Structure 1
Amino acid sequence: MSGPRRDPDMIRAYVRTGGRSSPSRDDLDLTSPVRAADRPLQGLDAESVRVMRLCSGPLSVAEIAAYLDLPPTVALIVVSALLDTGHLDTPVRVAPDAPDLALVKDVLDGLRALL
């Protein structure tokens, strides 16, 4: 009796990520929006090309993982690498001098109390 059969289409995560085991960015999570920059696709691996072709408009990393049937950690690693090379960019950037969210909430609560 032989062991369990493997799916021939199954590709191991380390192959999809080029051997990387973690994203190179700490500020990237599954809700981070990204979109393709106007860069050539030559020299990119297959997973990176798939991500680039999908990201004509802004998509979250979770959406990329779902559309391409990738594990979320693999999507994070591939997207992180594409951000590092400039093939992807983040469409929404929060200004560094933006007010603290807790402060905004306190002001809103105070205004509601006046009404």
Structure 2
Amino acid sequence: MTPPRRTRRRPQPPPAPQPPRLPQPPRPPSRDAAGAKGPGDNPERLYSVTGSGDGARAELDLVTLIVARSGPPVSATPEQAAVLRLCGTPLSVAELSAYLRLPFSTMTVLLTELIAAELVQARAPIVRQALPDRSLLEAVMHGLQRL
């Protein structure tokens, strides 16, 4: 049996340079392209989401928790229905804003409408104590020492 012959690899010639591309004139955006960017990119869309309210807003922070009190009614807008579906468990305003891809200001107006209609409840975030209780730490330490 004869061993296989080895062949030497020869370097490949470099590829031919490509001719430079000329810039193409910008095309007007299509409806599909506008929808692909996201709902927050269109100012008219944000105005239709927030409606024509009186401008009053609830005192909401980014960490305020929102909880739905009931399911979405038939008369709810798609954004309101999405908020009510998402808030089966408490979610912060920042999370809702990210999930729905809406700016914080638009989200506060939308949530103000839902709070006024008593469809959602706003809760203050749970504040933890700055320092844990000393007696609790001692009890944990003694319990670990007994193990």
Alignment of 1:30-69 (within 5 A): 30-38=62-70, 40-69=72-101
Which residue, out of 6, 16, 29, partners 1:5? 29
Q: Write the distance in 1 (CA, Å) between the matches of 2:81 and 2:93.
A: 15
- CA drift of 1:85 comes to 0.6
- CA drift of 1:91 comes to 4.1
Unaligned residue ranges in structure 2 (runs of 5+) = 1-24, 132-147
The AA in structure 1 aligned to 2:87 is C
Name 1:19's counterpart in structure 2: 52
Name 1:83's counterpart in structure 2: 115
Q: Write the distance in 2 (CA, Å) between the matches of 1:4 and 1:75.
A: 29
- CA drift of 1:42 comes to 1.9
Decide which structure has the larger Cα Rg and report it: 2
With structure 2 as the length reference, what TM-score do the two structures score?
0.54
Cα 1:28–1:54 shift into 2, 3 Å: same
Unaligned residue ranges in structure 1 (runs of 5+) = 95-103, 109-115
- CA drift of 1:69 comes to 1.1
The AA in structure 1 aligned to 2:67 is R
The AA in structure 2 aligned to 1:8 is A
The AA in structure 2 aligned to 1:73 is S
Contact 1:30–1:76 (8 Å) recurs in 2: no
- CA drift of 1:38 comes to 2.1
Runs of 4+ in 1 over 6 A off after TM superposition: none
Aligned residues: 97
Contact 2:72–2:85 (8 Å) recurs in 1: no
Q: Write the distance in 2 (CA, Å) between the matches of 1:40 and 1:69.
A: 19
Contact 1:21–1:77 (8 Å) recurs in 2: no
- CA drift of 1:93 comes to 8.1
Contact 2:64–2:123 (8 Å) recurs in 1: no
With structure 1 as the length reference, what TM-score do the two structures score?
0.67
- CA drift of 1:44 comes to 1.2
RMSD: 3.0
Which stretch shifts more, 40-49 or 13-22? 13-22
